[in-house]
């Protein structure tokens, strides 16, 4: 497996341990970092990663009150911190970042600023749907080089996903069982002000 080519973060953002998170420069880097951090990830989880890494969190918000209620409920019921980093870039150049809730809460940070950044991120101009087609090709190339089994699963997922016009998807049962993901996706441009 090749090491990802990552640059230093543009903004002075530090994770919960004070280390700079690597900022992937390509979808190949995103996949390398994601597979290293999430060994339980299936093709379905990679599909979720790509959807979020292209479109951000817009699909996750139907209205402000419901979104806030889901955040507060999730933060209250997610359990103790499991060692997740505070920040996880999920798109080339850190365009979109997952802010892990357990790390956020464990660091004593209030939910309000995270919620406002999540809302502001969802309101950003949507990426054209052609970008997801390109991203899926690049992710497929990265998987073909790194993991034949995941690549085969990815190709099966892509056929159905493309036919359905790229809908959002939940994490796989395997990922939920192994990691119980709890995060919010925020635009990379908002992260520095969020964690200062």
* 151-162 mean pLDDT: 88
pLDDT grade for 146, boundaries at 50, 70 and 90: confident
110 pLDDT above the threshold of 80: yes
pLDDT grade for 156, boundaries at 50, 70 and 90: confident
Instruction: Locate 91 and state its tokens.
Output: 């798109």
Q: pTM for this one?
A: 0.87
Q: Is the dihedral of CA 33, 39, 42, 43 positive or negative?
A: positive
196 pLDDT above the threshold of 90: no
Return the pLDDT at 20: 54
Per-residue pLDDT tens digits for 9-68: 333 344 444 455 789 999 999 999 999 999 999 999 999 999 999 999 977 788 999 999
Instruction: Spell out the residues 6+ positions from residue 66 whose beta carbon is closer than 8 angstroms to its own.
Output: none
Pairing of strands 96-100, 6-7: unpaired
pLDDT grade for 147, boundaries at 50, 70 and 90: confident
């Amino acid at each position: 497996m090749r090491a990802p080519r990552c640059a230093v973060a543009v903004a002075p953002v530090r994770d919960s341990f004070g280390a700079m998170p690597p900022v992937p420069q390509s979808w190949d880097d995103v996949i390398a970092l994601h597979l290293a951090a999430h060994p339980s990830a299936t093709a379905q989880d990679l599909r979720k990663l790509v959807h979020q890494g292209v479109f951000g969190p817009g699909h996750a918000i139907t209205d402000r009150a419901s979104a806030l209620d889901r955040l507060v409920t999730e933060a209250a019921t997610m359990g103790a911190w499991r060692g997740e980093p505070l920040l996880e870039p999920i798109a080339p150049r850190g365009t979109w970042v997952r802010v892990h809730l357990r790390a956020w809460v464990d660091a004593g940070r209030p939910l309000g600023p995270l919620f406002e950044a999540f809302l502001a991120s969802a309101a950003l101009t949507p990426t054209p749907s052609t970008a997801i087609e390109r991203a899926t090709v690049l992710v497929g190339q990265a998987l073909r080089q790194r993991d034949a089994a995941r690549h085969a699963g990815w190709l099966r997922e892509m056929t159905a996903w493309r036919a359905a016009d790229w809908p959002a998807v939940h994490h796989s049962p395997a990922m939920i069982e192994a990691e119980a993901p709890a995060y919010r996706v925020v635009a990379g441009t908002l992260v520095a002000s969020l964690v200062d």
